[in-house]
Amino acid sequence: MKRCSLYGLTGLILIFVMFVSVPTFGADTLKIGSFLSVTGPASFLGDPELKTLQMYIDDINSKGGIDGKKIEFIHYDTKGKAQEAKKYVNRLIKKDRVDVIIGGTTSGNTLAVIDIVQNAHVPLISLAGSVKIIEPVKKWVFKTPHTDRMAAAKIYEDMKKRGISKVALITGNGGFDKSGRAQCLALAPKYGITIVADEQYGNSDTDMTTQLTKIRATDAQAILNFGFGKAPAIVTRNVRQLGIKLPLYQSHGVASKKFIELAGKAAEGVRLPAAALLVADLLPDSDPQKRVLIDYKTKYEAKYGPVSTFGGHAYDALFITLGAVKRAHSTDRAKIRDEIEKTHGFIGTGGIFNMSPKDHLGLGLDAFKMLEIRNGTWTLVD
Amino acid sequence: MLDQLLQFLISGITVGSIYALVGLGFAIIYNASDVVNFAQGEFVMIGAMSTVFLVGKEVPYPLAILCGVMITILIGFALEKFAIEPAKDASVVTTIIITIGASIFLRGAALLIWGKDIYGLPPFSGDRPISIGPATILPQNLWVIGGTLLSVIAVKFFFDHTLTGKAILACSFNKKAAYLVGINVRKMLLIAYGLSAALGAVAGILIAPITYTSYDAGVMLGLKGFCAAILGGMGSSMGAVAGGLLLGVLETLGAGFISSGYKDAIAFVIILLVLFFRPSGILGTQEADRV
């Protein structure tokens, strides 16, 4: 009994100390707020993001903080719901009075809070994919993940190098597929590419030979499949089954070992763009990103297991923020915002960031690496 | 055009065979109890997933397939014993809702056991395409078509020439009369669930080398199988088979000659039209002649 109450007392004191000590350090802390989808349908994105933020913030605090300031990290889980995202962002701004916000995990969550941060004048760095977050440019909103458009551009660039100008497009009916299809269609003229076939399939379909038979009858020089999950593996196999010899391109949606495993021998020769983090080991030592990627990968994997690009987006957002705070020598929201916008030459896991008043993402096409599957594994093409 | 048509037909018949097997499972349970078993798609998934699991545990492939089917049959029995039988006095609609609940439960259990990953099975006999004129077909497609054909013949034989099969038929016509002539109605229902589960598992395993499987693979296949059963006439097992093949071929022809974006819509419009003009399905009749 006595032991229990002793523990209880210690706990109480600890809580007391925590609550009391924070405000006293108030002026000397940087308050970072975040709202991520750690549980719910997007948990496979939000979970590594939160783990990454916590790991690095603890690490930095144990080394004395940033620019002489300790970081206070306040996090809420939106469970993937836009309504919760709005509620928590309001709380972060009004009650917790954070200096900068990192989140949300999904495009839906981010788009829901843009008006709030714009009106409250709080800098926000989103970890979501949609181009709409930063186009048109919003003064207080930034993001770190690459976009579908960049993946499409990367593919077209590679096609151009190989002298391909007629492309057959085949996509699924999911959100990722549709957005990818729209970007592929929109970008094609810019690269002098004609889309000669635009076929679609359902993501739970079991056979795509029909669509591919139609493609075979066109004069396409390459097939581009923008998809996610098992369907691209079926497409890959069906292409080989029909004896189609055209080069096959996949999107970054299948950039995982699982794809090679599922498609088996049919995957040989398939090309796809992938985030550099997935192929960190393959990069030449001269690649400026290599050290950052290996460091992040080793650190994350030592603590939590296999790394994902999503956690990498959180890494980039955190260090862009910290860089801005360091340059601003202040926790003033407006000053931090200005410095985030001036981020230049920051080497992150997603690529090299060069932000500007016109570009609140700041990634070039080098964010993606073009890969070819050879002998059952990735090979760098460029 | 003609060589395209041949390729479309090949893929249509392969896909249709699977719809037929799933639809047949629907028809058998519907016959025995007037209940539409919405967990039918989950049988497909469990058959494939447990085989994948066993193959991963180094169990020889044919044995793994056999065990996969057995496991699914046991789950079919369990579904009848623990979910359907306790509600034996409930109305048909209530029982159908129970099967929907069971399908969600089975999917959730599969998610917990096997995770969200997608799995594949190796093809039964290589993956070198066979050319038929201008079209190509995979050996596995032949397995699917052949496997379906065998299963359908076996089911037909079971209902037409065995005592148990005839007893199940008797239950479907009139439960009370069947009971009075000494047929154990509950046992027949149990067998019907086991048989449906076995058909589902066979469909799942046959198709897994072509289309892969995951914890939610049963949803769409279950829906398509249900459409096949409706299209052919609910309760007519040969109707379910015909409905399945027709659905598969219509889908691919629609995708091939009209637009792949509207593939499912084309199939569903045709189903609506059939139901509008022949509410009992293409092979269904108002009375009798079930199975």
Q: Which residues of B touch A234 (CB under 8 A)?
A: 210-212
What pLDDT, in 10s, does the model give residues A287-303?
889 999 999 999 999 99
Per residue, what are the HEC states of chain B? Answer: CHHHHHHHHHHHHHHHHHHHHHHHHHHHHHHHHCCCCCCHHHHHHHHHHHHHHHHHCCCCHHHHHHHHHHHHHHHHHHHHHHHHHHHCCCCHHHHHHHHHHHHHHHHHHHHHHHCCCCECCCCECECCCEEECCEEECHHHHHHHHHHHHHHHHHHHHHHHCHHHHHHHHHHHCHHHHHHCCCCHHHHHHHHHHHHHHHHHHHHHHHHHHHCECCCHHHHHHHHHHHHHHHHCCCCHHHHHHHHHHHHHHHHHHHHHHCHHHHHHHHHHHHHHHHHHCCCCCCCCCCCCCC
Contact criterion met (CB < 8 Å) for B136 and A241: yes
Mean pLDDT, to the nearest integer, of A351-358? 93
Q: Which of A207, A215, A236, A260 to probe the B interface (max B CBs under 10 A)?
A: A207
What pLDDT, in 10s, does the model give residues A316-342?
999 999 999 999 998 899 999 999 999
Q: Chain A: nearest CA to B138, how far in angstroms?
A: 7
ipTM, two decimals? 0.79
Contact criterion met (CB < 8 Å) for B211 and A206: yes
A101 lies in the same domain as A212: no
What's the pLDDT score for residue B13?
A: 93
pLDDT above 80 (res A158): yes
Pull the structure tokens for residue A145. 């993940």
Q: Name the E strands within A201-276.
A: 222-226, 248-250, 271-275
Look at the block and give the residue holding tokens 């993501």. Answer: A203
Residue A160 lies in a domain: yes
Residue A334 lies in a domain: yes
Instruction: Please report the residues numbered 155 through 174 in chain B whose beta carbons come closer than 8 angstroms to any beta carbon of chain A.
Output: none
Mean pLDDT, to the nearest integer, of A235-261? 89
What pLDDT, in 10s, does the model give residues A74-133?
999 998 889 999 999 999 999 999 999 999 898 889 999 999 999 999 999 999 888 889
What's the pLDDT score for residue A11?
A: 55
A372 lies in the same domain as A231: yes
A225 lies in the same domain as A373: yes
A190 lies in the same domain as A270: yes
Residue A272 lies in a domain: yes
* CA triple A290-A293-A298, angle to 5 deg: 120
Residue A10 lies in a domain: no
Residue A2 lies in a domain: no
A162 lies in the same domain as A211: yes
Instruction: Show the low-confidence residues of chain B (pLDDT under 50).
Output: 287-291
Mean pLDDT, to the nearest integer, of A149-172? 93
Q: Which of B212, B220, B221 to probe the A interface (max A CBs under 10 A)?
A: B212
Residue A45 lies in a domain: yes
Q: Which residues of B touch A265 (CB under 8 A)?
A: 127
What's the pLDDT score for residue A23?
A: 44
CATH number of domain containing A138: 3.40.50.2300
- How do the domains of chain B map onto residue ranges? 2-116+137-277
Segment of A1-10, A169-178, B186-195 carrying the highest mean pLDDT:
B186-195
Instruction: Please report the residues numbered 232 through 291 in chain B whose beta carbons come closer than 8 angstroms to any beta carbon of chain A.
Output: 252, 255-256, 260-261, 263-264
A173 lies in the same domain as A104: no
More confident residue, A148 or B206: B206
Is-contact A358 A137, C-beta < 8 A?
yes
A83 lies in the same domain as A33: yes
pLDDT above 60 (res A209): yes
A236 lies in the same domain as A297: no
Closest Cα in chain A to B213 = A230
Q: Which residues of A touch B138 (CB under 8 A)?
A: 241
Closest Cα in chain B to A199 = B260
What's the pLDDT score for residue A26?
A: 46
What pLDDT, in 10s, does the model give residues A35-54?
999 987 788 889 999 999 99
Domain B2-116+137-277 matching CATH 2.40.50: the answer reads no
Q: Provide DSSP, A165-218.
A: -EEEEEE-SSHHHHHHHHHHHHHGGGGT-EEEEEEE--TT-S--HHHHHHHHTS
Q: Chain A: nearest CA to B129, how far in angstroms?
A: 6
A50 lies in the same domain as A137: yes
CA distances from A337 to A118, A328, B81 (A): 12, 9, 64
Pull the structure tokens for residue B84. 């359907």
Domain count for chain A: 2
Per the structure, the complete domain to which residue A220 belongs is given by 149-280+368-380
Residue A17 lies in a domain: no
Contacts of B233 (CB under 8 A, 6+ apart): B239, B240, B243, B280, B281, B282, B283, B284, B285
Q: Tally the C-alpha atoms within 13 A of residue B268's C-alpha that lie toward its C-beta.
A: 6
Q: Which residues of A touch B48 (CB under 8 A)?
A: none
A47 lies in the same domain as A122: yes
Q: Pick from B207, B244, B253, B238: which is nearest to B223 by CA?
A: B244
Residue A16 lies in a domain: no
A234 lies in the same domain as A374: yes
Instruction: Name residue B277's amino acid.
Output: F
A93 lies in the same domain as A120: yes
Q: Chain B: nearest CA to A42, how far in angstroms?
A: 13
Nearest to A242 among B120, B136, B261 (CB): B136
